[in-house]
């Protein structure tokens, strides 16, 4: 059974048409994350990120709304941690000839500091969705890349590229407007 098991046809809930469509398009009954329809994939990503990503500890409204100082603090903190992570992973600050904790912190900075800081704001749903995807994709990159190329700087660069590519895709930066 896969990580996200698919139930039999008669016990499916509201996602039955989506899963049936997925099965028609993919004759193998092996369910993997990439064969899910986009709407179901979005739902799985959002639920997974909501389960594991930090969230508010109270039921009150998020005070970090656009235009507030707190919103700006989170935004500056997010992008500053991304920049500092690059400086650390490229071995520019606290240089050493050996792998060390500083370079490791730089490599993981986008996942540990940037994404949580940006998710803490009251941001639009498309941006929140992009951050949810990134919260799940970046650990996979950070673990997989060192098997092929052992470079802190390369991992940080791949994370940064994934960050901006996800924002471009989800926020429609590359879409033409007339």
Question: pLDDT tens digits for 58-90?
Answer: 567 888 888 899 999 999 999 999 999 999 999
Q: How far apart are CA 119 and CA 19, in angstroms?
A: 30
Tell me the mean pLDDT in the region 23-46. Answer: 64
| Residue-averaged pLDDT of the chain | 81
Please give the residue range of the domain that contains residue 134: 63-171
- Does some domain include residue 24? no
Q: How far is CA 76 from the centre of its chain?
A: 19
CA dihedral 100, 106, 112, 116 (to 10 degrees): 170
Considering the domain boundaries, does residue 57 fall inside one?
A: no
Q: Is pLDDT above 80 for 160?
A: yes
Query: Comparing 27-31, 39-43, 142-146, which segment has the lowest mean pLDDT?
Result: 27-31
Backbone angles phi, psi at 139, to 5 degrees: -60, -35
Tell me whether residue 2 is in a domain: no
Which residues does 143 contact at the CB level (< 8 Å), separation at least 6? Answer: none
Burial 140-166 (b: 16+ CB within 10 A, else e): ebbeebeeeeebbbebbbbbbebbeeb
Give residue 52's pLDDT: 66
Task: Calculate what percentage of the chain has a pLDDT beyond 90.
Answer: 52
Could you give the number of structural domains in the chain?
1
Q: In terms of pLDDT, which residue wins out, 36 or 125? A: 125
CA pair distance 163, 85, nearest whole angstrom: 14
Beta strand segments in 76-178, E: none
Count other C-beta atoms under 10 Å from residue 81's C-beta: 21
Q: Is the pLDDT of residue 175 over 90?
A: no
The answer to whether residue 49 sits within a structural domain is no
Domain-located, residue 138: yes
Contact 122, 105 (CB under 8 A): no
Asked whether residue 45 is assigned to any structural domain, the reply reads: no
pLDDT at 172: 87
- Percent of residues, the chain, with pLDDT higher than 70: 74
């Amino acid at each position: 059974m896969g990580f996200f098991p698919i139930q039999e046809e008669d016990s499916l809930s509201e996602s039955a048409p989506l899963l049936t469509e997925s099965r028609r398009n993919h004759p193998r009954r092996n369910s993997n994350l990439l064969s899910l329809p986009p709407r179901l994939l979005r739902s799985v990503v959002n639920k997974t990120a909501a389960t594991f990503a930090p969230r508010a500890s109270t039921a009150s409204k998020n005070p970090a709304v656009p235009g507030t100082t707190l919103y700006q603090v989170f935004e500056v903190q997010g992008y500053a941690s991304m920049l500092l992570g690059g400086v650390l992973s490229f071995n520019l600050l606290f240089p050493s000839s050996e792998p060390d904790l500083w370079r490791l912190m730089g490599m993981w900075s986008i996942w540990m500091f940037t994404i949580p800081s940006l998710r803490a704001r009251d941001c639009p749903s498309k941006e929140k969705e992009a951050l949810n995807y990134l919260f799940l994709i970046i650990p996979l990159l950070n673990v997989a890349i060192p098997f092929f190329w052992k470079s802190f700087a390369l991992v940080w660069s791949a994370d940064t590229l994934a960050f901006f590519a996800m924002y471009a895709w989800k926020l429609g930066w590359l879409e033409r407007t007339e």
